[in-house]
Structure formats: C-alpha cells, structure tokens
C-alpha cells in the first residue's frame, strides 16, 4: 500500500512537471505544439512566436520592468493591470485631482499623460546561445573562474550580435545556468497614461480579497506607447507618435467557458520548482514564518493609523499594499506546502531519483553525493538565511527611517574633506529623493513600526548579529517604544524641516558631521556592520556552493528523468503557459466555479467601506442590467475567471488568450490554495485568476464613457468553436 502511494505521488509529480510549466516561446514547436493542439489550440507555434514574421509575441511587452502589458490596437494602446499602473497613476494624482480615486479617461490623444519612468520592453527575437556562453567552461573549474569565463563570453556575444541602434542585447541563464539564451529587445520610454477605472473597481476587495478566489476585481488600466516618427523607441517628446506594433490582440466578446483552451503570454519573475526537500523546508518552515510574523506586526500598526486618518491612508496605501502582498503570499505558501504535502512529494521524488542512480553505475558515480551535500548545505545556510531575512525585513523593508538612512549611506560616505565636489554634486539628487520620501512620510507611524521592528530584531536574533546592542539600547531608553521615539525624535532624516534647513544652510562638512552622528544613521550603520561581518560572508561562502550543486542537480534530473519535459524556472523572460479554464475543489465537499460576475460584486458591496465600496454608477448599470454587448447569453456580466495556467509574479497584466489568439482576459493573481505554486505547482489546485475582457470593455465603454477607445480595437464575436 505504501509503495503504491509512493508511486502515485511520484507519478503526480512527474505529471505536474510535464503537464504544466512556463515554456520558451522559441521552443514551442519542438516541446509543446502537439500537446497544445490536443488541448484545443487552433494556431501554430509560429503564430505565437516567430523571429521573422509578425506573431503574437510582437504584441507582448514587459511593463515597467515588473509586469506584463499587451498591445490591443494598431496604435500602441496598451492594456495591463490596475495594480501594475498604480504607481504611475499615483504619481499623476494630486489631492485635488486624485485619478486613482475618481478613475480617469483621457478624452483624446493630446490629453494622455506622460507616465515618467514607465517603460515597455518588446522582444524582437530570442536565441539559444548555450554553446558560445559556455565556451571554455570545464567541469572541474572553480565557480568564480567559471563565472568570469561566462561573463567574458557573454560580453563578446553582446558586442558581436548584430542589432539596430535602438535595440538591446541581453543574455540570461536558464535551468540554473545549464543553458543560456540571448534576447534582442527594444524598450520604449515614452509611455502615457490613457485611463483606469476608480480604485473602488480596479482594486475592489483590496487586501482582503488579494490572492483569493472567488474574486471581483476590475484589475486593469490602459496606457499608450509612443515612438519616434520611424516607429522606434525615443525619449519623451511631444512630437512622438503612437507606436505601430507588428501585432496587436483582437479582443473576444465570447469569453471562455469551463474546459476551454487558454494560454497566458508574459514575463513571469521567479520560481523555484526544482529545489530539494530541504530547500523547500527552509523556505516554507523557516523563512516564510519569520517574514510573515515580522510583517504581521508592521501591517497591523500601519492599518491602525490608516483607519484613523484618511490623509495617512493616502500616504501609506501603496506601501501597505506592497508589504501586504508578499506577506499574504508567504502565508498562503507556507500553509499550501503543508496542506498539499510538498515535502513528502519532494522526498518521494528524491527517492526515485536515487533509485535510478543506483541502477546506473555511471550516474551513480557522478551524482551519488549530490543530494546529501545539497541537504547539508541547506542546513548550513539556514541560520544565516534567517539572519539575512530578519535584518532585511526589520531594518530595511518594514521601517522607513533605517531604510532611508541606508539609502543615504552612499552619499554620506562619499564625503571627502579634501575634495567636497563629489559630495556636493550629489546633493541635488539627494534633496529631490528626500522631498519624495517626506511627501508620504508620517513619523508617528514609522515610530510605532520601528519600535516593533527593533523589538523583533532584539528579541529574536542572536547577540552576535546585533541583538545584544539593540536590547541594551532599549533597556537604557526604557523600552523599545522609548528607543524608537528617541531615534525618530532626534533624527534629522525623519524631520522635513530639519533636513531642509540642514542641506540648504550648512557647509558640506557640517552636513556630513550632522548626518554621520544622526541616531538613525548610526543605528543602521551599526546593524549593517554586524550583518556585513557576521552574516553576509557566510552566505557568500555557502550560496555559491548551493548554486553549483543545484545546477548539477538540474542537469542530473533532466538526464535521469529523460521521459519528462522540463521547463526552466521563471527568470523574468518571455514565457508561454497554457491550460484550460477550470474551477477546482479547495476542500472536501467544496467546489469552486470557474467564473464570477457582477452580481457577485454587489453581494460583496459594503457602502463606505475602504475595500468593498462600489461607485453609484456601477450600481445603476447593474440594477438596469445595462451590459450591452458584454453580457453572456443568459444576461450576466462576467467579471473574472480561473484557469490552469502556470503563472507567477510578473505575469500580472499578461494577456489570457483563447485557442485563436484572441484576448479573453487579463491575468492578475492566483488562488489562495495554490500560492505555493512557485515551489510546488499542483495542477489539481493551482489556478491563475484573470479579469474577463468583457468586464474590461464594459468598464471602458458603459461605465467610463470612453467608448471611443473601442474604435481602435478589434472586437471579435461569434467565432466560437464547437466544443466538447
């Protein structure tokens, strides 16, 4: 019986590896086309990716470096998530004209607002350059020599690759460094804000609903990419014209139903699907719980202040959301790994790996030590990895004052009494950055957070990592709150007026003296000193050994499980994932349907609530059932759906496409039970969440009154495949 269970477990792992994945667009014909067609795809691999001919890939871009966007018109109209455009829209908002809150649609091209710093990167072509990148690399080379040989090879690849002036060359490792791919890209820097629904729709459900199904968020926003008159990337200029992409996505008015083929094309950020049991345990049982506990404290404190004061809420809403997003994901991840027995699965998989080694003398000689050594190294790194996360979470990520001190360090330590020019030349930028910082900084909030963070650091880490110092300081001050009060109260970095006065009226020498003795800067410097002396060197010693063995383990798995198709872990490069629109059963006797609709928004509606309020106009449209051409045959307005596409962070904003390559939705999240998918993808419960294209169009047209934008789109209807 036990044996049988084990076998089933192994089969399910191998199946989960082969049925799902984030695939390389240039290899679809070889690796995936057949399977995709059997699942319902009506296109060829070449329609999806072609280095020479226009293909769907020409409509896909990396948005703002962290999300995905896609072209939905021949004139550069770009669709992405609301949460991806959030920062840009916030930048364009003022108290008088809060575009986030009210929603906004540019009434014509001339009123599209330049979104400074936002980029759109397209891939011209990609190419396997493993042979060149690994030239001169030998098996018994030290890691450092290996890397410097690869760096040399990559540098020469970059300089010899034929490219246009406006293109960039990037070379990236895949399969833990067993393969290398080159990407020719072009990055547009003139990107303008076209429109978005109000946050009450674009962020409906906010943090409570984040990572959760059933979902009712209209998570989209629109931008436009501008190019010079030759259609090439150019810095912002009022003379730029809308970019004409080689391909744009038609939008389906038919939507998708349970069982329909779907694919998601975009830029997934990072996954770790090939870790060992011990590697997964380190994340799921050690690091995740620590990070979650730290963020629990900081989030509760911020939330308390935000609920009391609307001005604080505006200032902290973006910061809160981003801290809460990873917090909630880690929480879901650690629970999911347990519930769905990730460690047991890894153990069974490793047992099978070992069994196969034992049957093959050549493999055995080569790889018998791999797993035991990896296991030991993960154990060795554990305390240091934990110390690293404690330091970065308590001292940098979750409080503002020490993080800001850290940011200022480069500048402060550039001071040279014999030559002050470097220091003074940086002053302008520092002032601008600090003005930015002060805009949303509330010392009373940060003080409360800092007290909690210092307490967590002082009470939970080791004396030799700085905990003893922090404890001592707290004792002397009369407790952690008093210590935080002292630091923030006496810090120039925490006080806008003091900081302004300092940098505008003092000499460089005086500025330097003041900041060097600033209590926040001094504390950060002290703690970072411990980190640099006690923790970092250990990580720098152990991590490269893990990387080396992980690379060998990856290669070994691909050899030993020859029958399995392996996809490379996500690394922010262009990938395609595919599957079907499908509900799931999260628990015994519970079944989740695949689609939500506007009725569900109204079920969640809480008047005046900061997460679940709904604009009056949406209520009116709902009451009148005024859904126009966006309604289903039975008169509902679909809002979101789920599918078995294997996605991760960075896939937000990615188009969800039907079998014909038409846009049916916009990827934006994953379901709670499956947030562990970065470490342990399980096709039975991992689902991606997409906002329905019909809801997007309805919100632009009926709700937003920006129906003129539809004139440049291509809407398709009635081409629905006969199914089943």
Binding site for ligand ASP (CB under 6 A): 67, 647-652, 668-670
Q: From the list ligand ARG, ligand ASP, none, which binds 647 (C-beta under 5 to 8 Å, kind-based)?
A: ligand ASP
Indicate the DSSP class of residue 581: B
DSSP β-bridge partners for residue 171: 182
- Going 283 to 285 to 289 to 290, the CA torsion angle's sign is negative
SS3 content of the chain, % helix, strand, coil (to 5): 55, 15, 30
Three-state SS at 206: helix
| Gyration radius of the chain's alpha carbons | 27
* Cis peptide bond upstream of 252, omega within 30: no
Q: From the list ligand ASP, ligand ARG, none, which binds 211 (C-beta under 5 to 8 Å, kind-based)?
A: ligand ARG
Min. distance of Cβ 649 from ligand ASP in angstroms?
4
Min. distance of Cβ 641 from ligand ASP in angstroms?
14
Min. distance of Cβ 137 from ligand ARG in angstroms?
36
Span interacting with ligand ARG, options 33-41, 319-327, 341-349, 693-701, rule CB under 6 A: 319-327
The catalytic position among 47, 207, 219, 569 is 219
Min. distance of Cβ 217 from ligand ARG in angstroms?
8
Query: Rounded to an integer, what distance in angstroms lies between the CA atom of residue 476 and that of residue 464?
Result: 19
Q: From the list ligand ARG, ligand ASP, none, which binds 210 (C-beta under 5 to 8 Å, kind-based)?
A: ligand ARG
Q: Which is nearer to ligand ARG, 86 or 561 (CB)?
A: 86
Q: Which is nearer to ligand ASP, 68 or 471 (CB)?
A: 68
Q: What is the DSSP string of 195-206?
A: EE--HHHHTTTH
Q: Are 166 and 232 in contact (CB under 8 A)?
A: yes
Q: What is the phi/psi pair of residue 542, to 5°?
A: -85, -40
Q: Which is nearer to ligand ASP, 86 or 437 (CB)?
A: 86
Q: From the list ligand ARG, ligand ASP, none, which binds 473 (C-beta under 5 to 8 Å, kind-based)?
A: none
Q: From the list ligand ASP, ligand ARG, none, which binds 206 (C-beta under 5 to 8 Å, kind-based)?
A: ligand ARG
Report 57-116 residues binding ligand ARG (CB under 6 A): 83
Work out the angle between the directed axes of helices 370-390 and 288-308 (0-180°, nearest 10). Answer: 30
Indicate the DSSP class of residue 170: E
Length of the chain counted residue by residue = 724
Residue from the set 649, 655, 661, 683 that interacts with ligand ARG by CB under 6 A: 649
Q: Is 83 a catalytic residue?
A: yes
Q: To which residue do tokens 């080791």 refer?
A: 462
Tokens of 25: 């667009």
Span interacting with ligand ARG, options 30-38, 72-80, 205-213, 284-292, rule CB under 6 A: 205-213
Residue 460, interface with ligand ARG (CB under 6 A)?
no
Min. distance of Cβ 324 from ligand ARG in angstroms?
6
Report 353-382 residues binding ligand ARG (CB under 6 A): none
Q: Are 650 and 266 in contact (CB under 8 A)?
A: yes
The catalytic position among 47, 73, 83, 518 is 83
Min. distance of Cβ 299 from ligand ASP in angstroms?
18
Query: Rounded to an integer, what distance in angstroms lies between the CA atom of residue 92 and that of residue 86?
Result: 10
Min. distance of Cβ 220 from ligand ASP in angstroms?
13
Cα end-to-end span (Å), the chain: 37
Residue from the set 63, 180, 211, 512 that interacts with ligand ARG by CB under 6 A: 211
Query: Rounded to an integer, what distance in angstroms lies between the CA atom of residue 195 and that of residue 488?
Result: 39
Q: Which is nearer to ligand ARG, 321 or 482 (CB)?
A: 321
Min. distance of Cβ 578 from ligand ASP in angstroms?
16
Q: Which is nearer to ligand ASP, 404 or 644 (CB)?
A: 644
Residue 321, interface with ligand ARG (CB under 6 A)?
yes
Q: Which residues contact 485 (CB under 8 A, 6 or more apart)?
A: 447, 451, 477
Pairing of strands 251-252, 167-174: unpaired
Query: Rounded to an integer, what distance in angstroms lies between the CA atom of residue 634 and that of residue 630?
Result: 11
Span interacting with ligand ARG, options 277-285, 321-329, 514-522, 679-687, rule CB under 6 A: 321-329
Report 322-351 residues binding ligand ARG (CB under 6 A): 324-325
The catalytic position among 200, 221, 252, 652 is 652
The alpha helices in 109-247, defined as continuous H runs, are 130-133, 143-160, 199-202, 206-209
Residue from the set 210, 399, 528, 647 that interacts with ligand ARG by CB under 6 A: 210
Q: Which is nearer to ligand ASP, 83 or 281 (CB)?
A: 83
Query: Rounded to an integer, what distance in angstroms lies between the CA atom of residue 209 and that of residue 211?
Result: 6
Q: From the list ligand ASP, ligand ARG, none, which binds 63 (C-beta under 5 to 8 Å, kind-based)?
A: none
Q: Which is nearer to ligand ARG, 241 or 326 (CB)?
A: 326
Q: From the list ligand ASP, ligand ARG, none, which binds 491 (C-beta under 5 to 8 Å, kind-based)?
A: none
Residue 206, interface with ligand ARG (CB under 6 A)?
yes
Residue 316, interface with ligand ARG (CB under 6 A)?
no
H or E stretch at 443? helix 443-460
Q: Which is nearer to ligand ASP, 221 or 647 (CB)?
A: 647
Q: What is the phi/psi pair of residue 654, to 5°?
A: -70, 145
Q: Is 652 a catalytic residue?
A: yes
Q: To which residue do tokens 């995740």 refer?
A: 288
In 3D space, the residue among 322, 378, 368 whose CA is nearest the CA of residue 206 turns out to be 322
Min. distance of Cβ 709 from ligand ARG in angstroms?
24
* Cis peptide bond upstream of 214, omega within 30: yes
Query: Rounded to an integer, what distance in angstroms lies between the CA atom of residue 318 and that of residue 101?
Result: 13
Q: From the list ligand ASP, ligand ARG, none, which binds 648 (C-beta under 5 to 8 Å, kind-based)?
A: ligand ASP
Tokens of 393: 């979470």
Residue 652, interface with ligand ARG (CB under 6 A)?
yes
Q: From the list ligand ARG, ligand ASP, none, which binds 492 (C-beta under 5 to 8 Å, kind-based)?
A: none
Query: Rounded to an integer, what distance in angstroms lies between the CA atom of residue 143 and that of residue 380?
Result: 19
Min. distance of Cβ 661 from ligand ASP in angstroms?
22
Min. distance of Cβ 285 from ligand ARG in angstroms?
22
Min. distance of Cβ 207 from ligand ARG in angstroms?
5
- 554-569 as b/e: b if 16+ CB within 10 A: bbbbbebbeeebbbbb
Q: Which is nearer to ligand ASP, 10 or 263 (CB)?
A: 263
Neighbour tally for 501: CB within 10 Å: 12
In 3D space, the residue among 641, 646, 640 whose CA is nearest the CA of residue 682 turns out to be 646
Number of residues that bind ligand ARG (CB under 6 A): 11
Q: Which is nearer to ligand ARG, 370 or 689 (CB)?
A: 689
Q: Which is nearer to ligand ARG, 176 or 647 (CB)?
A: 647
Query: Rounded to an integer, what distance in angstroms lies between the CA atom of residue 327 and that of residue 652?
Result: 18
Q: Which is nearer to ligand ASP, 146 or 670 (CB)?
A: 670
Residue from the set 207, 518, 569, 682 that interacts with ligand ARG by CB under 6 A: 207
Q: Footprint of ligand ARG on this chain (CB under 6 A)?
A: 83, 206-207, 210-211, 321, 324-325, 649, 652, 669
Residues involved in catalysis: 83, 219, 652
């Amino acid at each position: 019986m036990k044996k049988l269970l084990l076998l089933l477990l192994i089969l399910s792992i191998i199946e989960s590896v082969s049925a799902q994945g984030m695939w390389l667009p240039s290899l679809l014909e070889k690796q995936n086309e057949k399977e995709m067609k059997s699942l319902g795809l009506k296109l060829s691999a070449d329609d999806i990716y072609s280095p020479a001919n226009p293909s769907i890939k020409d409509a896909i871009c990396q948005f703002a470096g962290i999300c995905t966007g896609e072209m939905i018109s021949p004139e550069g109209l770009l669709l992405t998530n609301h949460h991806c455009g959030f920062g840009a829209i916030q930048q364009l908002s003022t108290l008088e004209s809060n575009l986030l809150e009210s929603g906004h649609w540019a009434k014509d091209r001339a009123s599209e607002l330049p979104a400074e710093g936002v980029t759109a990167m397209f891939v011209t072509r990609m190419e396997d350059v493993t042979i060149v990148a690994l030239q001169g690399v030998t098996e018994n080379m030290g890691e450092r020599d290996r890397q410097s040989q690869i760096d040399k090879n990559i540098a020469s690849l970059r300089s010899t690759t034929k490219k246009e002036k406006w293109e960039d060359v990037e070379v990236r490792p895949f399969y833990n460094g067993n393969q290398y791919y080159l990407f020719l890209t072009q990055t547009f820097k003139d990107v303008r804000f076209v429109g978005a629904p109000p946050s009450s729709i674009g962020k409906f459900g906010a943090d409570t609903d984040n990572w959760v199904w059933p979902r009712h968020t209209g998570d989209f926003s629109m931008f436009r990419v501008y190019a010079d008159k030759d259609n090439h990337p150019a810095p912002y200029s009022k003379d730029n014209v809308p970019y004409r992409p080689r391909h744009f996505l038609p939008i389906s008015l038919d939507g998708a139903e349970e069982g329909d083929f779907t694919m998601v094309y975009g830029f997934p950020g990072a996954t770790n699907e090939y870790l060992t049991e011990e590697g997964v345990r380190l994340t799921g049982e050690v690091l995740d719980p620590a990070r979650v506990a730290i963020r629990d404290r900081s989030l509760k404190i911020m939330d308390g202040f935000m609920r009391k004061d609307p001005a604080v809420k505006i200032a902290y809403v973006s910061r809160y959301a981003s801290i809460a997003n990873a917090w909630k994901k880690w929480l879901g991840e650690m629970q999911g790994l347990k519930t769905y027995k990730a460690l047991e699965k890894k153990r069974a998989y490793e047992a099978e790996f070992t069994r196969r080694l034992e049957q093959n003398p050549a493999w055995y000689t080569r790889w018998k030590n791999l797993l035991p050594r990896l296991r030991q190294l993960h154990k060795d790194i554990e305390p240091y990895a934990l110390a690293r996360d404690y330091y970065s979470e308590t001292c940098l990520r979750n409080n503002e004052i020490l993080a800001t001190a850290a940011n200022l360090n480069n500048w402060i330590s550039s001071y040279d009494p014999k030559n002050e020019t470097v220091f003074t030349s940086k002053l302008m930028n520092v002032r601008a950055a600090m003005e930015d910082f002060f805009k949303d900084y509330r010392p009373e909030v940060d003080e409360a957070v800092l007290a909690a963070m210092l307490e967590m650091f002082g009470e939970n880490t080791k004396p030799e990592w700085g905990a003893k110092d922090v404890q001592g300081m707290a004792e002397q001050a009369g407790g952690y709150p008093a210590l935080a009060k002292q630091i923030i109260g006496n810090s120039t970095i925490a006080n806008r007026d003091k900081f302004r006065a300092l940098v505008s009226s003092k000499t460089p020498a005086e500025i330097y003296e003041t900041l060097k003795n600033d209590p926040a800067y001094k504390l950060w410097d002290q703690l970072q000193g411990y980190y640099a002396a006690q923790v970092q060197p250990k990580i720098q010693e152990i991590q490269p050994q893990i990387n080396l063995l992980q690379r060998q383990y990856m290669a070994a798995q691909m050899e030993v499980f020859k029958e399995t198709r392996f996809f490379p872990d996500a690394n922010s490069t262009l990938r395609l994932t595919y599957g079907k629109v499908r509900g799931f059963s999260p628990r015994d006797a519970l079944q989740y349907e695949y689609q939500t609709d506007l009725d569900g928004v109204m079920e969640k509606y809480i008047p005046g609530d900061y997460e679940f309020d709904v604009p009056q106009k949406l209520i009116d449209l709902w009451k009148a059932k005024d859904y126009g051409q966006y309604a289903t045959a039975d008169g509902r307005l679909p809002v979101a759906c789920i599918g078995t596409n294997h996605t991760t962070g960075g896939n937000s904003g990615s188009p969800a496409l039907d079998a014909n390559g038409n846009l049916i939705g916009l990827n934006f999240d994953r379901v709670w039970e499956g947030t562990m998918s970065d470490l342990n993808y399980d096709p039975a419960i991992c689902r991606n969440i997409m906002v329905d294209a019909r809801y997007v169009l309805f919100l632009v047209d009926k709700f937003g009154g920006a129906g003129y934008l539809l004139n440049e789109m291509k809407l398709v209807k009635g081409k629905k495949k006969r199914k089943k």
